[in-house]
């Protein structure tokens, strides 16, 4: 299992490097594909997608909504957030209302949550990359998410005593969380020195990203516990599904994107 996980991790990192460095349409369509797959995992976990069929009306409406978010992002940069999300909401509500009482309201709202969660929030990875100096700033997402997660794991193993969320994630500790934040600060400083970027701004961004990445990880865990599943999928051997591996990235990407616009 360890060898499988390690090999998958290496391939995953190589793929991330290739697509993010390439940017443009390569990254755009990669993010779109990952958003769709992640949405499918979320829909299956929350019962929006029928288990006996590849598609249902409600999850199909969600997929269309995600496609619209990306389409308007491509055609109308800067206006995609509001227009795409509102149209997605209207389409999902249309299906919910005119299929009533086939779907419970919770299913309709879960369908919409995925549009924001796996659609818009994931697209912020692409949006960050396409900013001025985005080729530099986009790596702050990975430093804040995967970098802080690695540091948190090491700190937790060495010093962890006080449980952060004992019911939800028994292995996470406050000491680990502190180590993750401290690690993200160190990585931010190193990255700023290498890239000759603004040190203070990078530190602020990485602290915010590290904190929110923990929330993203816990959110994904909470949904899994509520729905009684171990992993969201089996697409990535040793890691699970897209949501199992990118849960913190999805939460961190919008934070880095908007902070990049505000302070960089």
Q: What is the pLDDT of residues 197-242, one digit of tens each?
A: 999 999 999 999 999 999 999 999 999 999 999 899 888 877 789 9
- Helices 242-263 and 24-46: crossing angle in degrees, nearest 10, is 130
Query: Domain check: are 95 and 222 in the same one?
Result: no
pLDDT-based confidence at residue 53 (cuts at 50, 70, 90): confident
User: What's the domain range around 111?
Assistant: 24-129
Q: Which residues contact 155 (CB under 8 A, 6 or more apart)?
A: 175, 176, 178, 179, 180, 182, 183
Q: b/e map of 166-177 (b: 16 or more CB within 10 Å)?
A: eeebeebbebbb
Query: Domain check: are 11 and 102 in the same one?
Result: no
Q: Residue 239's pLDDT is what?
A: 77
Q: Residue 17's pLDDT is what?
A: 86
Query: Domain check: are 143 and 259 in the same one?
Result: yes
Q: Residue 11's pLDDT is what?
A: 82
Place of tokens 């449980």: 163
Query: Domain check: are 121 and 144 in the same one?
Result: no
- Of the residues 80, 110, 129, the one at which a domain ends: 129
Query: Domain check: are 78 and 140 in the same one?
Result: no
Query: Domain check: are 111 and 196 in the same one?
Result: no
Query: Domain check: are 143 and 41 in the same one?
Result: no
The closest of 143, 165, 171, 176 to 248, measured between CA atoms, is 143
50-64, 127-141, 177-191: segment of lowest average pLDDT? 50-64
pLDDT of 98 > 90? The answer is yes
Query: Domain check: are 42 and 123 in the same one?
Result: yes
Query: Domain check: are 60 and 144 in the same one?
Result: no
Query: Domain check: are 138 and 248 in the same one?
Result: yes
- Of the residues 70, 97, 129, the one at which a domain ends: 129
Query: Domain check: are 64 and 109 in the same one?
Result: yes
* Average pLDDT across the chain, whole number: 91
How many structural domains does the chain have?
2
Distance CA 4, CA 232 (A): 18
Query: Domain check: are 123 and 39 in the same one?
Result: yes
Segment 105-119 shows an average pLDDT of 96
Structure tokens at 30: 């990669």
């Amino acid at each position: 299992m360890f060898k499988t996980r390690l090999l998958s991790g290496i391939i995953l990192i190589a793929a991330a490097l290739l697509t993010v460095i390439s940017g443009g349409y390569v990254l755009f369509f990669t993010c779109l594909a990952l958003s769709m797959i992640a949405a499918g995992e979320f829909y299956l976990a929350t019962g929006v997608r029928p288990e006996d069929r590849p598609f249902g009306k409600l999850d199909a409406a969600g997929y269309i909504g995600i496609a619209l978010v990306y389409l308007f992002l491509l055609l109308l940069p800067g206006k995609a957030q509001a227009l795409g999300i509102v149209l997605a909401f209207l389409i999902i509500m249309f299906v919910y209302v005119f299929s009533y009482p086939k779907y419970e309201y919770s299913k309709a709202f879960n369908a919409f949550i995925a549009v924001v969660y796996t659609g818009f929030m994931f697209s912020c990875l692409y949006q960050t990359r396409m900013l001025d100096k985005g080729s530099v700033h986009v790596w702050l997402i990975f430093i804040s998410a995967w970098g802080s997660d690695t540091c948190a794991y090491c700190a937790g193993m060495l010093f962890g005593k006080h449980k952060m969320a004992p019911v939800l994630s028994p292995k996470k500790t406050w000491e680990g969380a502190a180590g993750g934040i401290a690690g993200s600060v160190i990585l931010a400083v190193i990255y700023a020195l290498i890239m000759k970027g603004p040190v203070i701004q990078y530190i602020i961004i990485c602290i915010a990203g590290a904190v929110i990445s923990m929330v993203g990880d816990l959110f994904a865990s909470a949904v899994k516990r509520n729905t009684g599943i171990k992993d969201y999928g089996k697409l990535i051997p040793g890691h699970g599904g897209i949501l199992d591996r990118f849960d913190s990235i999805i939460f961190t990407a919008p934070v880095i994107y908007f902070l990049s616009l505000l302070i960089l």
